[in-house]
Chains A and B, each alone.
Chain A
């Protein structure tokens, strides 16, 4: 009930706000409380998987922020939802009507009234820690580093602080797509473990821990084991709490939105 009352007040505010904020779009849309609730249902079903139930972020950036990097206004947010973001995991919502997209816009605006997340760490100290711990051995930032882990140049724009914290403490829980760990045994008895770079029905290409490529025809392999849910990244849960905060602050600063 409490949520409904808040939503009701917000809907009244939103009806006027959205109508004024959409040059070139259908200006006749005004949203009711029910529609805002429908926006929530769509958000929970289709967006929360990546952006979190309350918009706290996860695989996708947090949306409970007053300022969204790729959506500075409602029209921009509408376009991001409708068309997706090329080169990222954000898909287009080709299946949603204009009105349905606006409902989601409205619900995200409801979520993003939250105060900005206050990162307590020191990004400068975090940068030093990043170097000291050898993170660059596996990750690229601005062209420098190894490639056996995901590039982190824009990680702050793509992932929430909560997600980054989880990735540092329990890497396997958020093993990134495209970095599947694979173990192979060739018919000649050679063992190799690495990250899958590419695969088709007949061949597989791996990158080992020293960034060397290996190519196999599957018919040459005695065993091919895909280690789903496994990450080659070590856990950093042994870091002091302040160190962890610093490292997260540094990572969050990459791509610059936070």
Chain B
């Protein structure tokens, strides 16, 4: 009897520990209620990349110090955005490595590495991994060889792996998956190899595919008429960045990439749906509810693989469900996320390709802005006015913060010959680099798109932005500066030279009830806090 009682007490003591390792869907859906964790790629399904933690303020941010540094195992700049759950940080790195770290100290709890062949095809992008998803007690990661892998969150043991598509034809995965209720959503890279893009959902427990939503319409699908001949078969439209989710509408919001071949549109007359678009997809069925195409018949590689930011705000006096995107093509867009209706479009960076947008949001394209054999100078460069690095939205300031790139490029038109698994792009660019280019963190009024302030950067950035409830905005630079700005004014408050290019997104979380900020820089992950040193807390 005594033993049974002891067992009961032991079970009661263990239960909270076991439960603490669990990340049910409801926790992610209500991620804002537990800002001490960072439960999904963009911090929440709305993709605000906003922390409700308010301990770090403009007044004290100058006291930030490194709490710990984690050295990645792999050479090369890392683009990862960690997830933090109940004292454990899950961080990915190239080519496909996932490591669980003690969030207090940075010490490794477990590490898993997928055996990636050096011959893996990553054509048109680097061998990176941008992050993981967690659901219940499983960590999910997309692999460079185009597999989706489920790992035990406590040990890193592989629970299942599923082939998403054939890497030999150019498909790959670099984006963090998105975990929703019972499903894992994963997009693919490969837009420079003439893939046919899609977004997939997999059963979280079994790894079995639940649905596939093609981004390029097939022969019987609406939109097929926007592709000349058989060009749809190599139409690209990759889905290579994590999207957003509205649980109430049960809609996923996902950006699609360039049409193929990138810079030579001769073989694909038409608008080339659904490339360079934002798709709203029914999470239950995978059916497309609506689409909005930012750049019809794109010939500059202006992917719409940016973060769709879901915002509930007043629009012309009444509350509406909105989705905002600062697009690679230099325009900031505001759409109704229930219907896809275009509400607003404003340039937020220099562009020389469009006179403006019409009433439906379609660009009024200027003549002589297409790539040519000799080269045609156009802003923005093919890397865009922004790219995959995340923007941030603060519901407190009502500002949309974006790391903008000011760079033009000579666009070249070349030949495109499709051979499966090879470069299929039809041209390229020579970007204006050095002092001819620069960057800026810009704060836009979320409902007008007008710039409220900017903080100039030495070069066009590849780092995302994090806004916090303390009134601070964090971001990074190619030159290794990790810095904090006043969210209201853009005034620089603090900076730290990390010694490596920052091509990653910041996050914020609690260690021992104290707010910290993490950023990958070069080949290391830095964690900063308001401590006087790493060991005295």
Interface residues of A (CB under 8 A from B): 38, 41-42, 44-46, 91, 93-97, 99-100, 177, 180, 199-203, 219, 226, 228
Contacts and interface: CB of A to CB of B under 8 A. Distances in A.
B492 A219 contact: yes
B430 A46 contact: yes
Interface stretch (B17-25, B194-202, B478-486, B520-528): B478-486
Given A94-B423, A201-B458, A46 B492 contact: no
A25 B507 CA distance: 48
Contacts of A96: 414, 428
Given A99-B415, A177-B434, A202 B373 contact: no
Nearest to A43: B374
Contacts of B429: 95
13 contacts: A41-B374, A44-B374, A45-B373, A45-B375, A46-B412, A94-B428, A95-B263, A95-B429, A200-B458, A200-B479, A201-B479, A201-B483, A202-B481
A177 B434 CA distance: 9
Nearest to B376: A45
A99 B458 CA distance: 38
B95 interface: no
A99 B417 CA distance: 10
Nearest to A44: B374
A200 B423 contact: no
Given A202-B483, A202-B492, A95 B427 contact: yes
Contacts of A180: 435
Nearest to B382: A95
A44 B427 CA distance: 15
Interface of B: 263, 372-375, 410, 412, 414-417, 423, 425, 427-430, 434-435, 456-458, 477, 479-481, 483, 492, 495, 497
A97 B417 contact: yes
A91 B483 CA distance: 32
Contacts of B458: 199-201
B375 A201 contact: no
B519 to A, nearest CB: 15
A198 B365 CA distance: 39
Nearest to A48: B374
Contacts of A100: 414-415
Contacts of A97: 414-417
Given A94-B423, A95-B263, A228-B435, A200 B497 contact: yes
Given A41-B374, A46-B412, A202 B428 contact: no
Nearest to A42: B373
A93 B263 CA distance: 14
A200 B412 contact: no
A37 B374 CA distance: 12
Nearest to B424: A97
Nearest to B458: A201
B501 to A, nearest CB: 11
A217 B435 CA distance: 19
A45 B372 contact: yes
Given A41-B374, A94-B428, A100-B415, A200 B492 contact: no
A180 to B, nearest CB: 7
Contacts of B497: 200, 203
Contacts of B477: 200-201
Contacts of A45: 372-375, 410, 412
A94 B126 CA distance: 14
Contacts of A200: 458, 477, 479-481, 497
Q: Which 5 A-B pairs have the closest CB atoms?
A: A95-B428, A45-B374, A200-B479, A45-B375, A41-B373
A53 to B, nearest CB: 12
A97 B413 CA distance: 11
A47 B375 CA distance: 11
Nearest to A177: B434
Contacts of A199: 458, 479
Nearest to B427: A95
Contacts of B374: 41-42, 44-46
Nearest to A219: B492
A191 B479 CA distance: 26
Contacts of A44: 374
Given A38-B373, A41-B373, A46-B430, A95 B483 contact: no
Nearest to B476: A201
A99 B415 CA distance: 9
B61 to A, nearest CB: 14
Nearest to A178: B434
A202 B478 CA distance: 12
B407 to A, nearest CB: 15
Among A96, A200, A219, find the residue whose CB has the most chain B CB atoms closer than 10 A. A200
A223 to B, nearest CB: 16
Contacts of B417: 97, 99
Nearest to B372: A45
A95 B412 contact: yes
Nearest to A196: B435
Given A42-B414, A46-B375, 7 more contacts: A45-B373, A46-B430, A94-B428, A97-B417, A199-B479, A200-B477, A200-B479
Contacts of A177: 434
Nearest to A218: B492
A97 B412 CA distance: 12
A197 to B, nearest CB: 13
Contacts of A91: 430
Contacts of A94: 423, 428
B158 to A, nearest CB: 35
Q: Give the one of A45, A177, A226 with max B CB within 10 A.
A: A45
B117 to A, nearest CB: 21
B265 to A, nearest CB: 15
Contacts of B480: 200
B424 to A, nearest CB: 10
Contacts of B456: 201
A256 to B, nearest CB: 29
Nearest to B263: A95
Nearest to A97: B415
Contacts of A95: 263, 412, 414, 425, 427-429
A91 B410 CA distance: 14
Contacts of B416: 97
Contacts of A46: 374-375, 410, 412, 430
A226 B375 contact: no
A91 B263 CA distance: 19
Contacts of B373: 38, 41-42, 45
